[in-house]
Amino acid sequence: MNTCRFFFSLLLFFSAIASAAAQSKVVELGDFAFDEKSKKMQAIVAVYKYPKQPFEDPSLNGIASKEKAPTFNAILPDLTGVKDTCYAYIYFGGVPKSSPLQGYALVVLANNARGSQPCSLWIDRNFNLDLTDDGPPIAYTYNTGYKDIQLINAQYPEAKYTVRISRFPFNYNSKYLAMLDEFYKESSGSKKFAGAFYSFKEERLNVRAGDYLLGNDSFRIALKDVNCNGLYNEAGIDQVIIGEYKNTTLLDIKVPINSKKGQTYFERNGKHFNIDQIDALGKQLNIAIDQTVEIKNALVVGKKIKKFKFISTAKDGKKIAIRKYRKKPTYIYVWRTGETDFAKDTAALREIQDKYADKVNLVTLNYGETPKELKSFKKRNRINWLIGYSSSKINQNLHIEKFPTGILTKKRLRIKQIGISAVELLNLLHNNTL
């Protein structure tokens, strides 16, 4: 009988391992998405006035150096009769090593004054500094919304990178444009910056995303082609990004791709996910849940939360240490506007502050809004509880994987409950079971 039990236990053990291995899925990455940090940055394709040849290499842009940037000559298209001739550089990691212009594709523009005549853009797509053999120019009119420009990796022709360019609207923030003008004029070497208004906003479509279905814990996963060369699986360079289900803007939770098997992984809600078989073109990847690995990076009930500081809307620029709230239970609520159940949570938070402020601290941290927007939100809605600003670092310390997330601590900031909503906390307080 004991022998039978032993073999039955072994069977269960190996069945569990087999079950863990069976939870492997292929995720198709058919959508373009944006990571949070890149979305916030307003990158531009800087445009410069064209006086004459030679061109100045952009490699020293933004770098304080006594060195002179290298120069080169290019074969230009027929520019007879055009006005406002300019040039620009589009960043691209797939330029061949034989090209004298590394890391960029040269662009020549004609009629760039943003008038009634369309602006023509010739792009050196084959990276030979000859703009007469790349096909017709792109036409960009005053009412063009955006243009997608696709560049092909010279070494791997199937690898393609797309950059989306668009103009700043005529009524755009003049102070911000002036700030960009000042920066580029000071950091462009001998090149004459045409101005931000005559340059292009740049969106790098280098993040391919898809959704991983796992019941209530479904999420979005993406690959980022960091060096914009059309390849998505380069170890030590490219990244896996984890975000909220169906969301096009992904949280700043990034996993570096590792060439060693089992070393590209992430942890989420008490589960360990291995990533392997990453498609070089970013079309799909394989995820497997490994139930045999001990979770390392997670909040643990009974343990103290990591110390951090945040800035409150009520304290102009002053940082507040979370340990300030260690003398009684504290509810930390990390949120973004417009999320599901936000209205219900807001009503519950108001009642908690009105009726139970003596029993629990409320620390609500917003991620994503600007200080001006958040202060306006607080005033408009007559918020009477503490609102502060979260950050990528705070989100990582608290292991925030979706919004909103509530964390309830006991005295001395020891974690009591993870993932508790404001409504659930209110019910605990109503029932006197906190």
Give residue 5's pLDDT.
43
Backbone angles phi, psi at 298, to 5 degrees: -155, 155
Per-residue pLDDT tens over the stretch 380-417: 888 989 999 999 889 988 988 888 999 999 999 999 99
Out of 49-58, 120-129, 242-251, 418-427, the most confident range is 120-129
Alpha helices in 275-368 (DSSP H): 342-356
CA dist., res. 159 & res. 230, Å (int): 4
Question: Coil, helix or strand for 333?
Answer: strand
pLDDT band at 282 (very low <50, low <70, confident <90, very high): very high
| The predicted structure's pLDDT at residue 234 | 96
Q: Check residue 64 and give its pLDDT.
A: 61
Q: Give the model's pLDDT for residue 259.
A: 83
Per-residue confidence (pLDDT) for residue 23, from 0 to 100: 65
- Tell me: pLDDT of 363 over 50: yes
Which of 232-241, 262-271, 425-434 has the largest mean confidence? 232-241
**pLDDT tens digits for range 195-233:** 999 999 999 999 999 999 998 889 999 999 999 999 999
Q: Which domains does the chain have, with CATH numbers?
A: 22-37+206-289 (no CATH), 47-60+71-198 (no CATH), 309-430 (3.40.30.10)
Read off the pLDDT of residues 130-186 as tens digits, 9 standing for 90 and up: 999 999 999 999 889 999 999 999 999 999 999 999 999 999 999 999 999 999 998
What's the pLDDT tens digit per position in 39-49?
777 789 999 99
**Whole-angstrom distance, CA of residue 200 vs CA of residue 330:** 47
- Alpha-carbon Rg for the chain, nearest whole angstrom, is 27
* Cis status of the peptide bond prior to 100, with omega within 30 of 0: no
Give the C-alpha separation, 163 to 229, whole Å.
11
pLDDT, residue 338, reads 73
Q: Does residue 105 carry a pLDDT above 90?
A: yes
pTM over 0.85: no
Model confidence at 9: pLDDT above 70: no
Asked if the model's pLDDT at residue 15 lies above 60, the reply is no
**What residues contact residue 84 under an 8 Å CB cut-off, 6+ apart?**
109, 110, 111, 112, 113
pLDDT top residue among 122 and 260: 122
What mean pLDDT do residues 69-74 have?
91
| Closest-CA residue to 284 (of 275, 273, 295, 296) | 275
Nearest alpha carbon to residue 363 among 312, 298, 301, 419: 312
- For all residues of the chain together, what is the average pLDDT? 89
Average pLDDT over residues 107-112: 97
Q: How confident is the model over 304-314, as pLDDT tens digits? A: 999 999 999 87
Q: State the average pLDDT over residues 315-332.
A: 89
